[in-house]
Amino acid sequence: MMTGEQYVESIRSMKTEIYMFGEKINSAADSPILRPSLNSVKATYDLAEKPEYEDLMTVTSHLTGKKINRFCHIHQSAEDLINKVKMQRLCGQKTAACFQRCVGMDAFNAIYSTTFEVDKKYNTPYFNNFKEYLKMVQEKDLTVDGAMTDPKGDRGLAPSQQSDPDLYLHVVERRADGVVVRGAKSHQTGISNSHEVIVMPTIAMRPEDKDYAISFAVPVDTKGIFMIVGRQSCDTRKLEGGKIDMGNSEFGGMEALVVFDNVFVPNDRIFLNGETDFSGVLVERFAGYHRQSYGGCKVGVGDVLIGAAALIADYNGAAKASHVKDKLIEMTHLNETLYSCGIACSAQGSKTESGNYLIDMLLANVCKQNVTRYPYEIARLAEDIAGGLMVTAPSEKDLRHEKLGPYVEKYLKGVDGVPTEYRLRVLRLIENLTLGAAAVGYRTESMHGAGSPQAQRIMIARQGNIAQKKDLAKAIAKIDKK
């Protein structure tokens, strides 16, 4: 397995084409705006090296028998599914950010079982292609971006009906040794911090969408791939040179629009190629795993936000107020409810034909549906406890100013014994999580990541088994079933 430092060097040595604010970036490792996001992924390597986290962060590969990072693992049991959620909670606690490696892990598991079933029906080589690919990923301990979401254009039209055929990524040329693809993937979390990208279709498809039912993996610095980094709230605070105003100076997340401009994919890297009847299966399984993930990662970040809210209550001298105590209880209740859902859908997981374990789909969608709501309420309560100073406090430069600093120290002090700087630091952390750069991951990603709220409601409707519930009601009401 790689150490964190080896990981950073491996990213620095890549020739990834990254653009931000109209400029080409040499490497995420050396960009002050992107470096915090790299640090979040680095944490997944650093934690795996520590004995006190080894049991969650590492596991034995069923493919090779060697110790690997759990982010490269194919889940072999319900216990594996539970440990995945626990690992994600841990990583969320340690970074208070989106640590970006989950999408790849969820893609691995969805592709593993789907390719097995595709091969069974069509006698294709995808399962073996994928296993060989994954062995390489495990051996080298790579970070792989899971790329699903197409830009989609007119949401009312199928991929092959779009006026611009590139609004869904598709095959444009088929050769003897592979395919050439063109299109883009939106909202790509962690792509600048990844070694590889694994692509999946984004919706169920019909036979006429054959060229769009494509899944493959290539190195991120493959010719034809380039990324345009998305802006985040308060992103340029990272250029100011200070540490306090960022709120979280060490960790962060990133997302980008990734363009695939006539990219060649060799045959042995292809995991689906035209089998449209399995496109929806792959999407549903990936979405299920990723909705499970949010019951871990957002809970860990929520732990930090609850801690920050409790701290600021202490520093403000408001900790004994009964309404403050009750708000912290409510935040905890909401956060642990999300965790309960993550654990529940894992504990109820079952074995697929391929041998890996799949979460309970209904409970995974319930998990994510709750995640689209509760972080917003947790954030609201944190802001309530923090007070308005969270959004009106002077800058770090003013705190450090020879003339102004003493006034900032004097008038923004809370309780005795706590430096004003500490109060400002915690306020900035709460700001960061509720409306700053980390709000991208904690709020809006909670809403739309792994599928927008309506996507879960559709799955809940499908899985809800209303017919059986009607029979239950009839039995109790003594209504003849006929």
* Interaction site with other proteins (CB under 8 A): 51-57, 83, 86-87, 89-90, 93, 303
Active-site annotation holder among 212, 294, 339, 442 = 294
* Cβ proximity to other proteins, 93 vs 463, nearer residue: 93
CA torsion sign for 443, 215, 163, 457 is negative
* Cβ proximity to other proteins, 55 vs 164, nearer residue: 55
Smallest gap from Cβ 342 to other proteins, in A, equals: 11
Angle between helices 279-316 and 453-463 (to 10 degrees): 120
Smallest gap from Cβ 351 to other proteins, in A, equals: 19
* Cβ proximity to other proteins, 16 vs 83, nearer residue: 83
Smallest gap from Cβ 71 to other proteins, in A, equals: 14
Strands 196-199, 178-189: pairing kind? unpaired
Strands 67-69, 58-60: pairing kind? antiparallel
Sequence-ordered list of residues with C-beta below 8 angstroms from that of 478, at least 6 positions apart, any chain: none
Other C-beta atoms lying within 10 Å of the C-beta of residue 110: 27
222 and 258 Cβ atoms separated by less than 8 Å: no
* Cβ proximity to other proteins, 52 vs 416, nearer residue: 52
Smallest gap from Cβ 45 to other proteins, in A, equals: 16
Torsion of CA 259, 261, 267, 270, to 10 degrees: 20
What letters, b where the CB count within 10 A reaches 16 and e where it falls short, cover 126-146? Answer: bbebbbebbeebbeebbbbbb
Other C-beta atoms lying within 10 Å of the C-beta of residue 377: 12
**Annotation says 409 is catalytic:** no
Active-site annotation holder among 72, 297, 345, 367 = 297
**Annotation says 168 is catalytic:** no
Active-site annotation holder among 72, 98, 234, 345 = 98
**Annotation says 297 is catalytic:** yes
* Cβ proximity to other proteins, 87 vs 338, nearer residue: 87
**Annotation says 79 is catalytic:** no
* Cβ proximity to other proteins, 1 vs 20, nearer residue: 1
**Annotation says 294 is catalytic:** yes
What is the distance between the terminal CA atoms of the chain, rounded to a whole angstrom?
62
* Cβ proximity to other proteins, 332 vs 463, nearer residue: 332
251 and 406 Cβ atoms separated by less than 8 Å: no
Q: At 87, which amino acid appears?
A: M
Between CA 50 and CA 53 the distance in angstroms is 6
Smallest gap from Cβ 83 to other proteins, in A, equals: 7
Q: What is the DSSP string of 433-466?
A: HHTSTTHIIIIIHHHHTTS-HHHHHHHHHHHS-H
Between CA 163 and CA 48 the distance in angstroms is 47
**Annotation says 396 is catalytic:** no
Helix (H), strand (E) at residue 174 = strand 170-175
Smallest gap from Cβ 109 to other proteins, in A, equals: 19
Angle between helices 102-122 and 279-316 (to 10 degrees): 170
Between CA 146 and CA 142 the distance in angstroms is 12
Smallest gap from Cβ 189 to other proteins, in A, equals: 22
Q: Which of helix, strand or coil describes residue 197?
A: strand
Smallest gap from Cβ 296 to other proteins, in A, equals: 8
Structure tokens at 143: 């970070």
* Cβ proximity to other proteins, 229 vs 309, nearer residue: 309
Active-site annotation holder among 17, 117, 196, 255 = 255
Query: Quick one: which of 186, 86, 42, 95 has its CA closest to 433?
Result: 95
- Compute φ and ψ for 282, nearest 5 degrees: -60, -45
**Annotation says 98 is catalytic:** yes
Query: Catalytic residue numbers?
Result: 98, 102, 189, 255, 290, 294, 297, 445
